[in-house]
Amino acid sequence: DQQVKQNSPSLSVQEGRISILNCDYTNSMFDYFLWYKKYPAEGPTFLISISSIKDKNEDGRFTVFLNKSAKHLSLHIVPSQPGDSAVYFCAAAKGGSQGNLIFGKGTKLSVKP
């Protein structure tokens, strides 16, 4: 049973426009959420995180929104750039879980020039 779901396997966006990647979770005990970006032949790299005590966290072009009542988070990339083309993984952890992350299946983002 998937606890972290990324229902869109792929997303295509024009350069300069906004990219919105979505993630849903089922376990209300999750209180720490992260987004990772992965290029081919490389390991995932950390992008941005959010604690459940917040509903928004921003870092440059990247913003993560958390809606606890809907058990939903999203990653916004504005403006999108061709270098943002990668697979994006959403991950979640429970408080006191000592860092064990549960990952979604990923969404492949393609940003077209």
Q: Distance between CA atoms of 54 and 8, rounded to whole angstroms? A: 25
Per-residue x/- marks for other proteins, 1-20, CB under 8 A? ---x-x--x-----------
Comparing CB distances to other proteins, the nearer of 96 and 113 is 96
Site for other proteins in 85-104 (CB under 8 A): 89, 91, 93, 96-101, 103-104
Interface residue with other proteins among 1, 41, 53, 83 (CB under 8 A) is: 41
Nearest distance, CB of residue 31 and other proteins, angstroms: 9
Nearest distance, CB of residue 90 and other proteins, angstroms: 8
Exposure class string for 85-107: b at 16+ Cβ within 10 A, else e? bbbbbbbbbbeeeeeebbbbebb
Count of chain residues binding other proteins (CB under 8 A): 27
Which is it for the CA torsion 73, 37, 61, 31, positive or negative?
A: positive
Interface residue with other proteins among 50, 80, 88, 106 (CB under 8 A) is: 106
DSSP-based three-state secondary structure for 19: strand
> Could you tell me if residue 71 is left (phi over 0), alpha (psi between -120 and 50 degrees) or otherwise beta?
left
